[in-house]
Amino acid sequence: MTSPPPRVALLCGASGLVGGYCLTRLVASPVYGRVVVLTRRTLPVADPKVAQVVVDFAQLATVADQLAADHVFCALGTTITKAGSRERFRTVDYGYPTEIAHLTQDRGACHFSLVSALGASPSSRVFYSRIKGELEETVRTAGFASVTVLRPSVIAGPRRESRPAERLSRWLLALAPRAVRPVHADTIAAAMVARAALARPGVEVIASRDIAAAARAGGS
């Protein structure tokens, strides 16, 4: 029985915490023969498996034909403080991923993996959670044969920028019930790659408490 040909992965958000770990795992995975990285600035990556598409995300349509892939991994995200306004936050956390979903689905992508957040709901009264929930709904209905949505609690791992409130949250939640404990970024990345390799039909939502198990199920 012959093995399926290597797939093409498209990664959005590789400069971020989860995205960085996801890039490492995609490059190491035998499932993928090519990894396209959609980024706003050139990253210090020199692997022949990686192709970087550098673009102002406000101009995504100009590189649409370079975004053809089998599996899409979206780890884009910011904070309202870093974005500077709610409007800008919505652009980064909803607008850009939405456009990426439509552009890639139109070009044949069959799987979309999304890092969302604990509590995401389009009906939430919390602005952050509502935007995440709206994005989930958009991805669900974009036409992908397979969708994985991961809803981590606070994301743990080494960050370049200081986030005092997030560090405090991780400390306070470390002994909390498993459903709300921090999840390491590499564990999220491992779960993304493992579930995408299966590409099961339909929409799979992985709660924060189940992300580690999803990563282990993939042999990570």
Residue 218's pLDDT band, with cuts at 50, 70 and 90, is: low
Q: Please write the tens of the pLDDT for every residue from 133-168.
A: 999 999 999 999 999 999 999 898 886 655 555 555
Residue 173's pLDDT band, with cuts at 50, 70 and 90, is: low
Q: What angle do CA 2, 22, 165 make, to 5 degrees?
A: 160
What tokens does 15 get? 């400069």
> Which pLDDT score is estimated for 157?
86
Q: Which CATH number fits domain 7-217: 3.10.20.30, 3.90.1170.50, 3.30.930.10, 3.40.50.720?
A: 3.40.50.720
| Average pLDDT, rounded, for the chain | 90
Chain centroid, CA 53 distance in Å: 17
Buried b (16+ CB within 10 A) or exposed e, 76-109: bbeeeeebeeeeebbebbbbbbbebbbbbbeeeb
Find the DSSP H helices in the chain. Answer: 17-28, 80-83, 86-90, 96-106, 127-140, 164-173, 185-198, 211-217
Q: Please write the tens of the pLDDT for every residue from 62-111.
A: 999 999 999 999 999 988 889 999 999 999 999 999 999 999 999 999 99
DSSP bridge pairs for 67: none
Domains of the chain, by residue range, sit at 7-217
Q: Please write the tens of the pLDDT for every residue from 194-203.
A: 999 999 999 9
CA distance 49 to 72: 16
Would you say residue 123 has pLDDT above 90? yes
